[in-house]
Structure 1
Amino acid sequence: MKQLKVLLISAIVVLMAQAATAQAKVAHVDVADIMQKMPAMVDAQKQLAKLGETYDAGYKTLVDEYQAKIKKYDQEAATVTDAINDERSKEVQEMQKRIVDYRDNAQKELQKKESDLVKPIMDKVKASIEKVGKAKGFQYVLNAADLLLADGPNITADVKKDLGFQ
């Protein structure tokens, strides 16, 4: 009985040692490189740039209008009544608020549009990474950008190939 316990304990220790020394299969992938070169992402960036230019043009128009009124009102301030100056002051404050609101809304819309465009692309990349990683027998695939040392299998090219581009 005592020998059976010793044998059992020895077997458990050996199994634990083997489990501790067994290495998980790990690879890395450069997600930023994939995303940056992916045709769908390039198209999304173009759409965002165009939308950004549209918002910038609208913002510039509002600011130019505001600056023109300020200049005009400053030149005429001494020649008009206090009531008119007060009315103009309120108008300028309203214009300032419109400009700030426009800028804030434009930023929110750009962020929403970016999210709407990038999320499906990122989901596709993630699915491809999982597919390639599993096909190659890896238990873990890490993003190379988060690693201090990436000395091991790199599946970036394989994921690009799976996604249909190089």
Structure 2
Amino acid sequence: MKKLFITAAIVLAAAFGANAQRYCVIDTKYILDNIPEYKDSQKKLDAVADQWQKEIDAKFQEVDKMYKSYQAEQVMLTEELKHKREDEIVAKEKDAKDLQKKRFGYEGDLFKKREELVKPIQDRVYNAIQKLAASRMYDFVLDKSGGVTLIFFDPKLDKSDDILKSLGVKK
């Protein structure tokens, strides 16, 4: 009986505690899409990525051209020349893959460029969210654009526009 009473007390305390929690909903994608600096940074990032991808594609096309040329001439080459050409093709392909990894790999040039251009804006948004949460005493903030699945929420709980106002963005 004593365990039942303690369990009931814990359940009731948790229920009252859950009712006392304050929360709001935001949409970081909406917020970022309404910040002109973010759009500009994203365009710059896309342009750089396109340029690097073209550079990598050109290297792979060169490898492909070398391989086709090798296949066409393979019959007439000596074993020594075959091995030399194969080594050249493999080395060229390795260079292209290394460049691809350097540009687009984990913590590659694109990652660093994104950190340089986009992260400061994301940090400002995060700080504005923290300020809003602290000033209005929210216990937690849900982001409807992220991995959290929200089936329904009351639109008056969406504070995305408040974040934009605190960042000085007019929409």
Deviation at 1:126, TM superposition (A): 1.2
Give unmatched runs, 5+ long, in structure 2: 1-8
Q: Which has the higher helix share?
A: 1
Instruction: Give the alignment of 1:1-166 within 5 angstroms.
Output: 20=16, 23-107=20-104, 108-145=108-145, 146=148, 147-151=150-154, 152-165=156-169, 166=171
Q: Is the 8 A contact 2:42 2:118 kept in 1?
A: no
Question: TM-score, with normalisation over the residues of structure 1?
Answer: 0.79
Deviation at 1:55, TM superposition (A): 0.7
Deviation at 1:110, TM superposition (A): 0.8
Radius of gyration: which is bigger?
1
User: Percent identity of the aligned residues?
Assistant: 25
Deviation at 1:163, TM superposition (A): 1.3
Give unmatched runs, 5+ long, in structure 1: 1-12
How far apart, CA to CA, are the structure 1 residues paired with 2:16 and 2:137?
20
Question: TM-score, with normalisation over the residues of structure 2?
Answer: 0.77
Deviation at 1:137, TM superposition (A): 4.4
Aligned residues: 151
Letter in 2 for 1:47: K
Q: Is the 8 A contact 2:26 2:144 kept in 1?
A: yes
RMSD: 2.3
